[in-house]
Structure 1
């Protein structure tokens, strides 16, 4: 068997790479992840659940199996009370083995992932933060993942540090921030963030989580403009939420009152996911996946929309007639009449919630990096309000 093409080889050739979806949210709903900590000990504790979700994303068309290592650094595990059972090393090793086993069942690559740390949010030194990342990538190198992803960073500075450490592996590096068009939580614009990440050594840059597909694609466009204006080159990726978030502010969906247990009314339909896939592709994004709220059927929709560009349909499409064509076999004539593209493209789904508002008012309680950032708000915030913000930031750091 010929060796699999690497991530940069695929992207350099103009291929579309389909990512997977949101493991922490999907596994929380299935009873394997605890909301709040959002830590991935399920990789070691319930490997069969993680393996099955990988397989469902593979069947839906994903050709990257990202290790379930979100928040799997020792400082995060200790901060959230999980280190007593499993160490970061145990979780990272188990996650790598699961991802590799499923990736080898298809033409998929394995990506080892790191994310933001409590050490940075608690204002630890650059050396301390980088040591956290180094400990994680030692496992990824040992397990020989195909490439590395630094994802879910609210501050570009920490993402730069992560990229610098990941580059020492000699493997391709992708970096995604969980920011919107306003930039990171220190006000660094998306374009400038993109430039910083590329200069730090990232081969692929983009956005993940916190915002819906429309917002994330818009933000990647801004990032792309900044990188190109600086005369730099990179590939681009987008892995947004599977939820509508037009009412979010700078911190994204974590400020919504519905976060995290009442977000279901905001879920995008499969047809909206097809629209997202097309918009991302037209924006020049070639690594297209999802984050929290994305289930395998959403990834299948992305794969089906990009069938012509990819040259094939995923195995999961065997049980899914494109644009509802399977409904032609339904017993009810009015349902059979829905077996067409124009019906689903034009449909405006009802929420079925007559007493619910269409938008929420975000909590907007502040950022989560140290006293210095909170002090920047003092001109517009009373001393009493500032104390509340600081207490919350300290508790969540």
Structure 2
């Protein structure tokens, strides 16, 4: 990654660049023993800054153009009982880590704000924006390059958040955590997209909760709405790293495996490559991941789009990109490598779980994407 590249994402998108986002922080750091499941708070930025920094470096090496700050809610709530750190202390440390990685790798520093407690409690615009403003203050003080208004499930709250974020004069990306059925109030993905664009967000899309291919279905509906309205913001898609065809309206959160047994649903690197290609063909130009998307998934996305990006990630030095290593072993007659030196083998593979009694899907009472009859 060249340190000379502009850190203005809108400038780079305007020049036709495809931007690769980073992946999971809270979920990955929980697996590594630095975050408590259930709390999901980023005190690791103070307690174990090396772990957060190393993960950010992993994503940059994998091809990510963006380094997100591992920051917190707006207020001092939710940390584990033995943590006495303030939200401000955590967020300040998180910004410092992201800036350090950015200075070395030339990445765009992005800070996010998410849905508020105030919206659930009062649904008052002033209350919502006041809470969001608290979360934005430390990001603005640290001069981040991009504000991501993400993980919103109601278009009204999203519109209020976009309005506030734009007031700081920074590039803004707005992503909702919705599936094909739309937001929490039943507003369609197409209408959500149109309203986000009309609210002024230059980048819109979705993040988290649903797997890459459900995300593609959702972003396709959003694009259709935008096309119909004659609107053309840049599109962004950062899906979940687990297969969730049987998830409810809150995606993976309504699955029985959440949060401690999701590994059998993990997407493969080739599924991520296929997602990246299909997203690009759909017109998405900021492509990354959310919970469950690891650095090797980001590398697969960046490698798949290397022709469009005119570069390979640093980490590709240790990637059997053309499968020549496996092909060489196959050519020597090694039966365990038969057919595995061909990309089509991996792109078309349907992985097994290795569990004879494993069900293909959960009998969700109200699945988001699967017809209930399939589960009966």
TM-score by shorter chain over 0.5 = yes
> Structure 1 residues 329 and 3 mapped into 2: Cα distance closer, same or farther (>3 Å)?
closer
User: Unaligned 5+ residue runs, structure 1?
Assistant: 367-397
| In structure 1, C-alpha distance between the alignment counterparts of 2:43 and 2:110, rounded to whole Å | 18
Residue pairs, 1:58-207, within 5 angstroms? 58-69=60-71, 71-74=72-75, 77-79=76-78, 85-207=84-206
Show the counterpart of 1:333.
334
Shift of 1:119: 2.1
Show the counterpart of 1:52.
54
User: Unaligned 5+ residue runs, structure 2?
Assistant: 369-376
Shift of 1:136: 1.9
| In structure 1, C-alpha distance between the alignment counterparts of 2:337 and 2:64, rounded to whole Å | 30
| In structure 2, C-alpha distance between the alignment counterparts of 1:92 and 1:332, rounded to whole Å | 55
105-114 or 318-327, larger mean C-alpha shift:
318-327
> Structure 1 residues 215 and 200 mapped into 2: Cα distance closer, same or farther (>3 Å)?
same
The 8 Å contact of residues 18 and 309 in structure 2, kept in 1 or not, is answered as yes
Show the counterpart of 1:284.
283
Shift of 1:342: 2.5
Matched position secondary structure for 2:77: helix
In the comparison of the two structures, how many residue pairs are matched?
363
Shift of 1:327: 2.6
CA-atom RMSD in angstroms: 2.1
Q: Which whole-Å deviations, capped at 9, do the CAs of 1:355-390 have from their partners, x for residues lacking one?
A: 110001236599xxxxxxxxxxxxxxxxxxxxxxxx
Q: Which whole-Å deviations, capped at 9, do the CAs of 1:253-293 have from their partners, x for residues lacking one?
A: 11111111111111111111110011100000000000011
| In structure 2, C-alpha distance between the alignment counterparts of 1:79 and 1:42, rounded to whole Å | 14
Which has a greater percent of helix?
1
> Structure 1 residues 343 and 2 mapped into 2: Cα distance closer, same or farther (>3 Å)?
closer
Query: With structure 2 as the length reference, what TM-score do the two structures score?
Result: 0.91
| In structure 2, C-alpha distance between the alignment counterparts of 1:171 and 1:83, rounded to whole Å | 36
Query: With structure 1 as the length reference, what TM-score do the two structures score?
Result: 0.87
The 8 Å contact of residues 125 and 160 in structure 2, kept in 1 or not, is answered as yes
The 8 Å contact of residues 203 and 234 in structure 1, kept in 2 or not, is answered as yes
The 8 Å contact of residues 72 and 91 in structure 1, kept in 2 or not, is answered as no
| In structure 2, C-alpha distance between the alignment counterparts of 1:326 and 1:155, rounded to whole Å | 48
Show the counterpart of 2:371.
none
The 8 Å contact of residues 255 and 364 in structure 1, kept in 2 or not, is answered as no
Show the counterpart of 2:300.
301
| In structure 1, C-alpha distance between the alignment counterparts of 2:343 and 2:129, rounded to whole Å | 50
